[in-house]
């Protein structure tokens, strides 16, 4: 498995233009794998107990003194808590500054195709994909935040213009998120807003869900930056009175026969 993953219980695949949302429990993991190369996975986080608390890209980058996301980085909320840590990443660069593709981007680049006329061959955009998922929880456009684009890298020239790095992600590239608090995850597999492909991308991303190993005191992400230690301390304060991560991990496995079988 890996030093960070105790067990995998569920696996699915998402093709380009898909979207999904789910609640990830503290102590669970999500592994994303780019099966075809040059995929893009847009992602946002919200606190399911307080939907006003959500992923904060500026704080995530600023407090860790970085422009990119990779192994060791933690993903912060606007309350100074950590939604998730990147415990595995063989790619080394994921971006969180470019936002989403919109319908106008898709139409200009690849033409108009809607679900009513073209069904599963239509061309979804990231902005509308997030809106569909947000509506399931009583949220809307004002609740959108700057999102992460996994598997995507942006280059910046001397004038400050950004462009999407071509051929950045290869088939089989992956990353693993360990969730440090209960988190509502919204994701889509729509094209990056700076994608210049001749055709609407046809990509496949694997998503695996499971249980993480407990966080140790010498955990790589916890000690990656001094600020991350403070973020974990904020999470500990938030979780006072709740079962420890070790107890939660064992409970998740014992209450799920699939997990227990896979571990055995």
CB atoms within 10 A of CB 93: 16
Is residue 220 classed exposed, middle or buried when 0-12, 13-18 and 19+ CB atoms within 10 A define those classes?
middle
β-strand partners of 163: 155
Looking from the CA of 171 toward its CB, the CA atoms found within 13 Å total 5
pLDDT at 117: 76
pLDDT at 116: 78
Cβ contact 200:110 at 8 Å: yes
Domains identified in the chain, total number = 1
Q: What phi and psi values does residue 153 have, to the nearest 5 degrees?
A: -130, 135
**Which of 93-102, 156-165, 199-208 is least confident?**
156-165
Percent of the chain predicted with pLDDT > 90? 84
Distance CA 244, CA 97 (A): 34
Query: What is the tens place of the pLDDT at every residue in 116-136?
Result: 777 766 799 999 999 999 999
Distance CA 40, CA 35 (A): 11
Which residue, among 56, 47, 9, has the nearest Cα to 28 in the 3D structure? 9
Distance CA 228, CA 232 (A): 6
The residue length of the chain stands at: 264
Q: Does 23 have pLDDT greater than 70?
A: yes
Is residue 246 very low, low, confident or very high in pLDDT (cuts 50, 70, 90)? low
Distances (CA, A) of 19 to 88, 133, 163, 241, 254: 23, 7, 24, 35, 30
pLDDT at 47: 98
Percent of the chain predicted with pLDDT > 70? 91
- For residue 249, give its domain range: 5-263
DSSP conformation class of 94: B
CB atoms within 10 A of CB 202: 10
Which residue, among 46, 34, 145, 36, has the nearest Cα to 93 in the 3D structure? 34
Burial 226-244 (b: 16+ CB within 10 A, else e): ebbeebbebbeebbeeeee
pLDDT at 209: 98
pTM for the full predicted model = 0.90
């Amino acid at each position: 498995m890996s030093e960070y993953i105790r067990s995998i219980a569920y696996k699915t695949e998402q093709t380009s233009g898909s979207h999904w949302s789910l609640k990830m429990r503290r102590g669970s993991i999500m592994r994303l794998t780019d099966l075809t190369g040059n995929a893009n996975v847009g992602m946002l986080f919200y606190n399911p107990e307080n939907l006003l608390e959500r992923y904060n890209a500026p704080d995530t980058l600023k407090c860790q003194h970085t422009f990119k996301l990779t192994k060791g980085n933690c993903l912060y909320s606007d309350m100074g808590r950590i939604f998730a840590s990147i415990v595995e990443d063989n790619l080394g660069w994921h971006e969180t500054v470019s936002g989403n593709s919109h319908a106008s981007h898709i139409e200009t680049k690849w033409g108009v195709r809607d679900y009513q006329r073209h069904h599963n061959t239509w061309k979804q955009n990231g902005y509308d994909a997030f809106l569909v998922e947000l509506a399931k929880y009583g949220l809307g456009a004002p609740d959108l935040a700057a999102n992460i684009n996994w598997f995507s890298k942006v280059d910046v020239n001397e004038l400050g213009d950004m462009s999407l790095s071509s051929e950045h992600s290869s088939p089989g590239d992956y990353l693993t998120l360990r969730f440090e608090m209960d988190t509502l995850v919204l994701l889509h597999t729509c094209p990056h807003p700076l994608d210049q492909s001749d055709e609407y991308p046809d990509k496949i991303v694997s998503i695996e869900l499971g249980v993480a190993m407990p966080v140790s005191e010498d955990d790589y992400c916890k000690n990656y930056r001094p600020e991350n230690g403070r973020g974990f301390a904020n999470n500990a304060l938030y979780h006072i009175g709740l079962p420890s991560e070790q107890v939660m991990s064992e409970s998740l496995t014992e209450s799920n026969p699939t997990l227990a079988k896979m571990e055995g």
